[in-house]
Amino acid sequence: MNEWIDELRDLSAAGGRAITVTISGVRGSAPRNTGAKMLVSESETFGTIGGGELEYQCTRIACDMLRQGEGKTHVFRRFPLGSNCGQCCGGVVDVLFEVCSAQSEWFADLVELFDAGRPALMLTRFDGEGEFDKQVFAADKIGEHASEFESLGVPADALEKSLADNSAQLVKLSNNQMQLIEPVTTGNFDIAIFGAGHVGAATVAVLSTLDCNIRWIDSRRNFLKQKMPANVQMIRSGSPDREVAAMPARAFYLVMTHSHSLDYEICSRVLNRQDFAYCGLIGSLTKQRRFVGRLRRDGVANVERLTCPIGVAGIGGKKPAEIAVSVAAELLQIRAAVELAIESRPQKHVHLVKGQ
């Protein structure tokens, strides 16, 4: 997730300093994948690189860098999780520590793209002797920089893979240099949650901790007073059902408003879209039967794809937090199935051609 961007921006605006701690390479079993990031300030940490002894040791190193003030701009360390950290994973993790400032040119470039909703590509080149360089490129313009990448020795296939898989990777270059490639995107796990009642609020609280984009929609005025994480967009609308059209393809919809008639209008619009990944309606089996019968009489498409009740089987609790956890688990299960289906299709790759 990209909360570290907003955290660094806020921290720097308040005059604070920070170290970004990034998993730059993984061999074998490890708690997090390449690209996982943690921000360490002089008073607290944001995000996680997996917890345990590894995170403890990395936090200490970052704090030492902050105390040194004008010391090294970056540190690269390798951690054997078994022998060095006493963790059962047993893999080896490479970690890049970087003194980070919102005043850096690369960060200004990243924020401009991030605020515009455009995917970016961060390239960080470093070695063990002090050389360090970081640049940010618009992902949809990388073809224009093909000659620059070639001069830097960055393999085109590595860039293509990172963009195609939306995954970070560490590439070894010549002269003991390394290049960390990090796509920065908003992801494609898009969720619309209709309803700001107790269950809606609990569901947003759980789902907002995931790498997803949430549009939380309600017709009532007072719900807009709440402060939400950066990946939650709060929308007050007099006609919440019309917000269905604003969602991208393969989105997930959770319908849990205060009105059954509004629930029906929202579900009708979702089911008629054809391109949704999930349409979940909160309620009992009685509500499900009534909705399905009316939807069929009205000629609504995809009625069989309406999920009601919502949540994974076996969790029968009715407290908002229990429902939220159950629903989040169901969405993750369905998302994994959707991604597996997409991965099984023939893939189209972006080829880096000069002037593309």
Q: Is 353 part of any domain? A: no
Domain span holding position 306: 190-341
DSSP code of residue 269: H
Q: Is 201 part of any domain? A: yes
- CB 320, CB 199: distance < 8 Å: yes
Phi and psi dihedrals of 235, rounded to 5? -130, 120
Phi and psi dihedrals of 278, rounded to 5? -160, 135
On whether both 179 and 298 belong to a single domain, the answer is no
User: What's the number of domains the chain is made of?
Assistant: 2
Q: What per-residue confidence (pLDDT) applies to 90? A: 67
- Token reading at 84: 């060095």
For 67-86, letters b (16+ CB in 10 Å) and e give eeeeeeebbbeebebeeebe
- For 308: left if phi > 0, alpha if psi spans -120 to 50, otherwise beta; the answer is beta
Per-residue pLDDT of the chain (356 residues; tens, 9 = 90+): 677 888 888 887 777 889 999 999 898 888 888 999 999 998 889 888 987 888 999 999 999 999 887 667 788 898 888 766 766 666 889 999 998 877 788 888 998 888 887 888 999 988 766 678 888 998 888 878 788 787 777 888 888 888 877 889 888 887 778 889 998 887 789 999 999 999 999 999 999 988 889 999 998 877 766 678 878 889 999 999 999 999 999 999 999 999 999 999 999 999 999 899 999 999 999 999 999 999 999 999 999 999 999 999 888 788 999 999 999 999 999 999 887 776 665 554 444 444 33
The single residue listed with the structure tokens 């195609």 is 164
- Token reading at 259: 């009105």
The helix-helix angle for 105-115 and 3-13 (nearest 10°) equals 120
For 31-56, letters b (16+ CB in 10 Å) and e give bbebbbbbbbbeeebbbebbebebbe
pTM of the shown model:
0.69
On whether both 209 and 178 belong to a single domain, the answer is no
Rounded CA-CA distance 286/291 in Å is 9
Q: Is 350 part of any domain? A: no
- For 132: left if phi > 0, alpha if psi spans -120 to 50, otherwise beta; the answer is beta
For residue 90, the number of C-alpha atoms closer than 13 Å in the C-beta half-sphere is 3
Last residue of a domain, one of 152, 184, 216: 184
Residues contacting residue 36 through CB under 8 Å, at least 6 positions apart: 22, 23, 47, 48, 49, 50
Rounded CA-CA distance 196/201 in Å is 6
Residues contacting residue 105 through CB under 8 Å, at least 6 positions apart: none
Helix (H, G, I), strand (E, B) or coil at 200: helix
Q: What per-residue confidence (pLDDT) applies to 21? A: 94
DSSP code of residue 243: G
The CATH number assigned to the domain holding 219 equals: 3.40.50.720
Rounded CA-CA distance 55/57 in Å is 6
On whether both 299 and 270 belong to a single domain, the answer is yes
On whether both 104 and 56 belong to a single domain, the answer is yes
Q: Is 348 part of any domain? A: no
Q: What per-residue confidence (pLDDT) applies to 111? A: 87
On whether both 170 and 99 belong to a single domain, the answer is yes
Q: What per-residue confidence (pLDDT) applies to 353? A: 43
On whether both 144 and 201 belong to a single domain, the answer is no
